[in-house]
Amino acid sequence: MFFDLSDEVAYQQWRLRVQRYQRPGLTDVLVEIDDPFQLTEYEKAAIITRCEHYNMVIYQLNDARIQDKALVHALGGQVLTGELDANLRADEDSVSSLEVRSQNGNQYIPYTNKALSWHTDGYYNHLDKQIFGIILHCVRPAEEGGVNCLLNPEAVYVALRDENPAYIEALMHPEAMIIPDNVEHGRVIRPAQSGPVFMLKPDGRLHMRFSARKRNIEWRNTPDTLAAVDMIKRLLADESNVLKVALRAGQGILCNNVLHNRSGFADSEARQRLMYRARFYKAVAG
Ligand SMILES: [Fe+2]
């Protein structure tokens, strides 16, 4: 088992596979789709294979006029699989329309034109409600900016473990990362949540919980934890490690909740950025 720090043989085998698929270019992860409501066997296989290798796909609808919001769930339903916890009644959240809008109370950055720092989705969720799959579909890009960068957490794990296995041990600790209470108008709307950075999914693959935000995150105060978090931030800051994508209308990211960020953007009268986003408790798995 690669995750076991004492099992060097299994780790080295897994590491070779991860390294073979490191630093993909856009063409490595691009899959063209004719009908998102009915994938062909070929399209489905292409998505699954890329997710096996890279944990991500950039899809492109051959007909960019297809912009029905329902396509997001339809797509997810065809390729996302996995066991669900008995207490999860729905297998996914609803589809959010990410666009600039005026908000009362706490300002949620996804609904502004500000940059979003590196994170995986739902890191603040309860541990048995982790997000394993995401679809981000571009209806309209912004006039300028709004670029996403992506990085497979498996590559981050390998870099950290090769540097110092104690970093992995620190990040697997159940209190490695603490997200304090989310308070709005003096009322706790989400209680504090602590958990590891690296954990295993039911399918045996790696799952990462992470946020680069300085506020709203408390790291366990040990030298290894803090050094490991620093190293993650350095890896993310190095553009040669990451895949940069400026989604066009009709393109989308379908991924196993890889690390991602978003640059700030500017809308114009004619072009206002609109993305559909859905999060799933399931992953794309072979
Ligand atoms: Fe996100």
End-to-end CA distance of the chain: 18
Instruction: State how far the Cα of 229 lies from the Cα of 119, in Å rounded to an integer.
Output: 12
Q: What's the predicted TM-score (pTM) here?
A: 0.94
Q: How many Å lie between the centroid of ligand 1 and the Cα of residue 8?
A: 33
Between residues 81 and 86, the one the model is more confident about: 81
Confidence label for 84 from pLDDT (cuts 50, 70 and 90): low
In three-state form (DSSP H/G/I as H, E/B as E, the rest C), the secondary structure along 233-246 is HHHHHCHHHCEEEC
Residue 88 has a pLDDT of 55
Residue 269: strand, helix, or coil: coil
89 has pLDDT over 60: no
**How many whole angstroms from 121 Cα to the centroid of ligand 1?**
5
Per-residue pLDDT averaged across 165-182, rounded? 95
Q: Which two tokens stand for residue 248?
A: 């066009």
Please tell me the predicted confidence (pLDDT) of residue 86.
Answer: 53
Domain at 8-284, CATH from 3.40.920.10, 3.40.50.1980, 3.60.130.10, 3.40.390.30? 3.60.130.10
- Per residue in 9-54, pLDDT (tens digit) is 999 999 999 999 999 999 999 999 999 999 999 999 999 999 999 9
| Mean of pLDDT over the chain | 93
Domain ranges of the chain: 8-284
Query: Residue 2: is its pLDDT beyond 90?
Result: no
Centre of ligand 1 to C-alpha 32, Å, is 23
Per-residue pLDDT reduced to its tens digit, 201-260: 988 999 999 999 988 899 999 999 999 999 999 999 999 999 999 999 999 999 999 999
Cβ-defined contacts of 214-220 (< 8 Å, 24+):
216/179, 216/180, 216/182, 217/177, 217/178, 217/179, 218/177, 218/178, 218/179, 218/180, 219/176, 219/177, 219/178, 220/170, 220/173, 220/175, 220/176, 220/177, 220/178
Ligand 1 centroid vs 110 CA: distance in angstroms?
A: 8
